[in-house]
Structure 1
């Protein structure tokens, strides 16, 4: 027998209970007339920080340093105290209208019809299958998120010797988790000439954690029947291959947005980030639907995602108040040129506010120690800016919003590049 789902009618629906979604909920709940409802598919809300059991969270948004689990608990508590409603184990299955979705949970099937929707579904690391690593299919292969979930939430043992694939900040987080689980990291593998993470973390990792790094390398095969026994490693410069014994492999970084709901809604997607295309107000191509956090820029730190949430709350409040809304097609497209891969936000509309923190977020595939950013529109260089911080693979490159001051709001697309 088919039953009609219960209908919930909040003022604002937020899908995703990570730092961005929870921060938006905490900001909106006291300021809107109706309910602010947060749906999260996990048993416990908080996003990735809830199983990242190390310090480093909360610096930009809370002005303090916390462990990941403490940070997640704080954000949940703040949202609930502000008056938001939080439903966990709630998986959104499909859209039923422009601002309406259906979700399932242990409490049954329900429909939500809201005035505004905020997508805060975050990003995830590409697993082994998405990276097309051939070989056997043994146990002992993880992403960082899976590893931390197993160790910190379920307190399960992993192996004794691991190879970590990737050299991003999250890669060192995986090393710390492996160490806490009693597993030695025998090797870290990075395809770049230098490890992608910040120099301070790289130096500390090598000195304190004593992890050797194979630069310009890639894993070409995993070996093992019941359990991982070894990986085959290729030197990208010479083509030489060698076998490294291990019983655990952790694939880190190489992030992709959790964009399934955005795609199902038919929202315009950014071809660089693969997340929704948004303007500086974080509006998507569907009126009344906004997007925030690492769904837009895979991937930045949790506190930056949280500040996205604070930013979008003001824009949602403006939308609900009936403020003038720009025509969907009106705006200047922002594009990235190699070695830059993407820029977020990707659309500039006249009269809109600056993006969160007054920064454009970009991703580079090549290290540029002294980046000279050029802004080009209609074949003309409208701005140049030399920045005192490097553009490095594996982490977000931040460019001041002021570089766009000279562009023509009625002109063609704007391209940002490094020269």
Structure 2
């Protein structure tokens, strides 16, 4: 039995930043466990620039960013155990662990779940057709190329138009594979306009909008995909030997579910308040487990935010039972966090995170409670599918702590 003061499950940006903050605050023994051979999370095998802007105020490559966060956590005094898998709960306070050193149990005073999110593979998306080789998610592709230095095909189709889709395109180029087409179900690719423009001009990747994959073709190795235009119903076949399914995220919430932690029906991750507490006392959550999926630096800032709340918990502070639910109205799919309590801090970076299913160039966000408009503001940035929409949490200042649920929508 190991009894650290804080156990952090997941050694990605959120977990490592939380560990560095907690160890730096002398919050006791801080232990991070990660199932991978090396800590660092997704940035470890995302070998392109663009990491660290919001949290470190500089830009670096994914592997360099992962190394920086790991070095900061270990330098602060946190212990990092890799190749270590948390397999389940022995009881409400104790976790079962398996590692190369054997099986043991961990009973921390406080727990931070930072297990992140993953892309849904082809099977979960129910794409019919043959079952050939050459079909990946972005994570599988980058792991194969950057960590194992294995070749992929020569001509690829990318399914999805999110920021991660362009990351897949860069990886394919580095592996000597031409991204022949990107497919998005929306009227425009979901990523930021600057990335879409750069991708078309620099990477020369055409984008088929309002389209979906209806069939994968190939015996042994992928040979082609059949795609359909959602408005006309017209179908065509695109030759390729590689298909990469990007985006369509789901949180790695198995441990939260096994503990009976309340999950949010929108994100499918743990339901949390602005202090990132879950429904289980002493258990916190941070990063893309809560908002699948935002950028690595935002996940890292979640880790910084949760560290302060964990310290308060270790010092005996407990939340009030009273709380007001935050509900996302269409076209929003979810909001994070989902619970507002009196005297709790503002959410990380003073932002509510939402996910929209429609593109709105000049969104007028409206907050309602008990039939009245609490606040309304037109924001200068668009709400767009495939990326997190950030709303200043100050829009909640007029919410009554004794009122009913708060609805956040667009007018």
> Structure 2 length as normaliser, TM-score?
0.99
CA distance in 1: counterparts of 2:93 and 2:173, whole angstroms: 45
Q: Distance in 2 between matches of 1:126 and 1:406?
A: 38
1:250 to 239, 244, 247: 244
Report how far residue 153 of structure 1 moved: 0.2
Task: Provide the rounded CA distance (Å) in 1 between the counterparts of 2:109 and 2:338.
Answer: 25
- Residue 12 (structure 1) aligned with residue 11 (structure 2): no
Which residue of structure 1 aligns with residue 326 of structure 2? 334
| Structure 2 contact 250–268 (Cα < 8 Å) conserved | yes
- SS of equivalent to 1:42: coil
Question: More displaced, 299-308 or 90-99?
Answer: 90-99
Q: How much does 1:33 deviate? A: 4.8
Following TM superposition, the consecutive aligned residue runs of length 4 or more in structure 1 with deviations greater than 4 angstroms are none
After superposition, residues 360-371 of structure 1 pair within 5 angstroms as 360-371=352-363
Q: CA offset at residue 250 of structure 1?
A: 0.1
**Rounded Cα–Cα distance in structure 2 between residues aligned with 1:334 and 1:191:** 29
For 1:57-103, what per-residue CA distance to the aligned partner results, in whole angstroms no more than 9, with x for missing partners? Answer: 00000011000000001101110000000000111101123332011
Native 8 Å contact 1:99 1:117 kept in 2: no
Look up the SS of the partner of 1:381 in the other structure.
Answer: strand
Separation of aligned partners in 2, 1:87 and 1:98: 22
What secondary structure sits across from 1:92 in the alignment? strand
In structure 2, distance between residues paired with 1:226 and 1:155: 22
**Counterpart-to-counterpart distance in 1, 2:304 and 2:28:** 18
3-state DSSP of counterpart to 2:15: helix
RMSD, aligned α-carbons: 0.7
Q: Matched residues in 1 for 2:381 and 2:318: separation?
A: 38
Q: Is this contact kept in 1: 2:253–2:289, CA < 8 A?
A: yes
Give the conservation status (yes or no) of the 8 Å contact 1:32–1:317.
no
SS at match of 2:36: coil
Which residues of 2 match residues 148-159 of structure 1 at below 5 A? 148-159=142-153
Conservation of the 8 A alpha-carbon contact between 2:135 and 2:244: yes
Aligned residue in 1 for 2:255: 261
Q: Does 1:287 align with 2:281?
A: yes
**Does residue 407 in structure 1 map to residue 399 in structure 2?**
yes
Written as runs of structure 1 = structure 2, the 5 A alignment for 1:7-406 is 7-327=1-321, 330-406=322-398
The runs of 5 or more residues in structure 1 that have no matched partner are: 1-6
